[in-house]
C-alpha cells in the first residue's frame, strides 16, 4: 500500500473524468490513476454494469478500477449534468468508451466541451478510428477476428481468440500514450485536443510483423501452430512429471549450451546441426532428440538446469500459478485487491519501474458511488442539496461519510 508520505507521482495534480465501462476505457483510467492522476469514475446510480458480470468477466471491475474515486450519477438528469459541468471546470482529461454518439446525446461530446474548456484533452476509446467502420459496434473478440489475430492464434481452419483481452488493454494503453503526448503539447500551446484510440486498429498494430513478413516472402502467413519456424528448437516438450515445458534454442551459443547440458558431444560435433539454418532444416530429426532429453527430467529439474545453463525456457503456467510467482512478488510488486465477495486477489501492479516512484495501491476498487458525497462537498454543494439529489435518485452510493477506500 502506497504510504501517505510517498513521493508525489508523475501525474499528481491531473484530474481525469472517466466515462467508461468493461475493459478498454477502465484500463486507460487505471494506468493514469496508478501514475498519480485523480481519476473520477463516473457510473450510473445503480452502478457500472461491469460490477455484475459473471464467469469469465467476473474479475473485470476489481481488476481495472483501483486507485479511482467513484461518483454515481444520472447523466440524463439535468441536475446530474450540472454536477458534471462543475467538475469539468477543473478537469484536465475526459476519457470515454461509450457507443458512438452517446456522449454527444448527453451533451458531453468533444465539440461541445472543447468550446467551453479549450484546454481539455478528450480521449475517445472506440471500436474503430475515423473511417467507414467507425459507427460499427465492436468487441475485443470481434476485432481479433477482423484483424487476423484469431486466424494466427488457432490451428488452420479453427481461428481462436487470444486468451486475454489483448486488444482492449492495448487500445487503453495507446489511449494513455495519446493523452500523455497531448498533455505535453498543452504545456507548450495551452490548448487541449481530441485523442482517439480504437480496438480494430490496435489489433492490426499487433499484426504488422506478419503483414511485413508476407510482403517480404510473397507467401501467406500460416497460423502460429503451423508456422514455419525461424529457429531450430522453439517448442514445448513433456517432462518426466507430465508437465509441458517450453524450450527455445535460437542461437549457436544456445545450441552449444544445450549439448553441454545434456552431455551430447555427438550432436555438437554434427556439422549438419552447427548453424540455426541447418537445425531448422533438421527439425524432423532434431525434435525427437530434444523431446527424449527433456522427458528424463521433472519440470523443476528442467527449470534449474536451463536457468543454470542460460537457455530460454518456461514452464507452462496457469493464471492460478501467478499470485505466488517469485518474480511477480519481488520488491512488493503484488497488490492485495479487495473483492466484492469479501475476499482478496493478489494482482500485479503497473508493470513499470520509474525511479523511486511507488505506483502501488492507494485506493481499493470502490463501492458504487463511494466518493459521491465527498465530491459534491468539494464542489461546494451544500449538504442539504446533496441529500436532495440522493433522495431524487440523481446521485447514488453510500449515504454515509466519505470512505477511505485505501484503509
Q: What is the pLDDT of residue 1?
A: 54
Within 10 angstroms of residue 405's Cβ, the number of other Cβ atoms is 20
Partnered with residue 43 across adjacent β-strands are 72
pLDDT at residue number 308? 97
Secondary structure of the chain in HEC code, one letter for each residue? CCCCCCCCCCCCCCEEEEECCCCHHHHHHHHHHHCCCEEEEEECCCCCHHHHCCHHHCCHHHHHCCCEEEEEECCCCHHHHHHHHHHHCCCCEEEECCCCCHHHHHCCCHHHHHHHCCCCEEEEEECCCCCCCCCCCCCHHHHHHHHCHHHHHCCCCCCCCCCCCHHHHHHHHHHHHHHHHHHHHHHHHCCCCEEEEEHHHHHHHHCHHHHHHHHHHCCCCCCHHHCCCCCCEEEEEECCCCCEEEEEECCHHHHHHHHHHCCCHHHHHCHHHCCHHHHHHCHHHHHHHHHHHHCCCCHHHHHHHHHHHCCCEEECCCHHHHHHCHHHHHHHCEEEEECCCCCEEEEECCCCCCCCCCCCCCCCCCCCCCCHHHHHHHCCCCHHHHHHHHHCCCEECCCCCCCCCCC
pLDDT value of residue 7: 84
Q: Which residues pair with 233 in a beta bridge?
A: 249
CA gap 397, 74 in Å, rounded: 12
Q: What is the pTM of this model?
A: 0.93
Task: Report how far residue 41's alpha carbon sits from residue 48's, in angstroms, rounded to the nearest whole number.
Answer: 9
Which of 213, 222, 179, 181 is CA-nearest to residue 197? 179
Radius of gyration, alpha carbons of the chain: 26
The 10s digit of each residue's pLDDT in 307-326 is 999 999 999 999 999 999 99
pLDDT score, position 228: 73
CB atoms within 10 A of CB 268: 13
Residue 108: Cβ within 10 Å count: 22
What burial class does residue 213 get, using C-beta atoms within 10 Å of its C-beta: 0-12 exposed, 13-18 middle, 19+ buried? Answer: middle
In this prediction, residue 406 carries a pLDDT of 39
Cell numbers describing residue 104: 454527444
Could you list the pLDDT tens digit for every one of the 407 residues in the chain? Answer: 555 557 899 999 999 999 999 999 999 999 999 999 999 999 999 999 999 999 989 999 999 999 999 999 999 999 999 999 999 999 999 999 999 999 999 999 999 999 999 999 999 999 999 999 999 999 999 999 999 999 999 999 999 999 999 999 999 999 999 999 999 999 999 999 999 999 999 999 999 999 999 999 999 999 998 877 789 999 999 999 999 999 999 999 999 999 999 999 999 999 999 999 999 999 999 999 999 999 999 999 999 999 999 999 999 999 999 999 999 999 999 999 999 999 999 999 999 999 999 999 999 999 999 999 999 999 999 999 999 999 999 999 764 334 333 33
Strands 395-396 and 38-43: unpaired
- CA 401 to CA 370: how far, in whole Å? 9
pLDDT score of 2: 55
User: What is the reported pLDDT for 405?
Assistant: 38
pLDDT for 219 = 93
Amino acid at each position: 500500500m502506497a504510504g501517505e508520505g510517498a513521493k508525489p507521482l508523475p501525474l499528481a495534480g491531473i484530474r481525469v473524468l472517466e466515462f467508461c465501462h468493461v475493459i478498454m476505457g477502465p484500463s486507460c483510467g487505471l494506468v493514469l490513476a496508478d501514475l498519480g492522476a485523480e481519476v473520477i469514475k463516473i457510473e450510473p446510480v445503480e452502478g457500472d454494469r461491469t460490477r455484475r458480470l459473471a464467469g469469465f468477466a467476473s474479475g473485470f471491475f476489481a481488476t481495472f478500477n483501483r486507485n479511482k474515486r467513484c461518483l454515481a450519477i444520472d447523466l440524463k438528469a439535468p441536475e446530474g449534468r450540472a454536477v458534471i459541468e462543475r467538475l469539468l471546470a477543473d478537469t484536465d482529461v475526459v476519457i470515454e468508451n461509450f457507443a458512438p454518439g452517446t456522449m454527444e446525446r448527453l451533451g458531453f461530446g468533444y465539440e461541445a466541451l472543447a468550446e467551453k474548456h479549450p484546454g481539455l484533452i478528450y480521449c475517445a476509446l472506440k471500436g474503430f478510428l475515423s473511417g467507414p467502420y467507425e459507427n460499427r459496434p465492436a468487441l475485443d473478440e470481434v476485432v481479433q477476428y477482423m484483424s487476423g489475430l484469431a486466424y494466427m492464434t488457432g490451428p488452420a481452419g479453427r481461428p481462436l481468440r487470444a486468451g486475454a483481452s489483448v486488444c482492449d488493454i492495448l487500445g487503453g494503453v495507446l489511449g494513455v500514450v495519446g493523452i500523455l503526448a497531448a498533455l505535453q503539447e498543452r504545456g507548450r500551446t495551452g490548448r487541449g485536443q481530441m485523442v482517439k484510440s480504437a480496438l480494430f486498429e490496435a489489433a492490426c498494430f499487433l499484426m504488422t510483423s506478419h503483414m511485413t513478413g508476407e510482403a517480404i516472402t510473397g507467401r501467406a502467413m500460416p497460423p502460429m501452430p503451423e508456422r514455419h519456424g525461424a529457429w531450430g528448437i522453439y517448442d514445448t516438450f513433456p517432462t518426466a512429471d507430465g508437465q509441458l515445458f517450453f524450450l527455445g534454442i535460437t542461437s549457436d551459443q544456445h545450441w552449444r549450451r544445450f549439448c553441454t547440458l545434456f552431455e551430447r558431444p555427438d550432436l555438437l560435433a554434427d556439422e549438419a546441426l552447427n548453424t540455426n539454418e541447418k537445425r531448422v532444416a533438421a527439425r524432423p530429426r532434431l525434435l525427437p532428440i530434444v523431446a527424449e532429453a527433456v522427458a528424463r527430467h521433472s519440470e523443476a529439474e528442467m527449470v534449474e538446469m536451463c536457468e543454470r545453463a542460460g537457455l530460454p525456457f518456461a514452464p507452462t503456467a496457469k493464471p492460478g500459478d501467478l499470485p505466488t510467482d517469485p518474480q511477480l512478488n519481488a520488491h512488493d510488486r503484488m497488490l492485495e485487491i479487495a473483492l466484492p465477495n469479501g475476499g482478496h486477489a493478489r494482482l500485479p501492479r503497473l508493470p513499470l519501474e520509474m525511479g523511486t516512484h511507488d505506483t502501488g495501491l492507494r485506493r481499493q476498487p470502490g463501492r458504487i458511488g463511494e466518493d459521491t458525497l465527498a465530491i459534491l462537498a468539494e464542489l461546494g454543494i451544500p449538504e442539504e442539496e446533496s441529500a436532495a439529489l440522493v433522495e431524487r435518485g440523481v446521485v447514488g452510493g453510500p449515504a454515509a461519510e466519505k470512505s477511505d477506500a485505501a484503509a
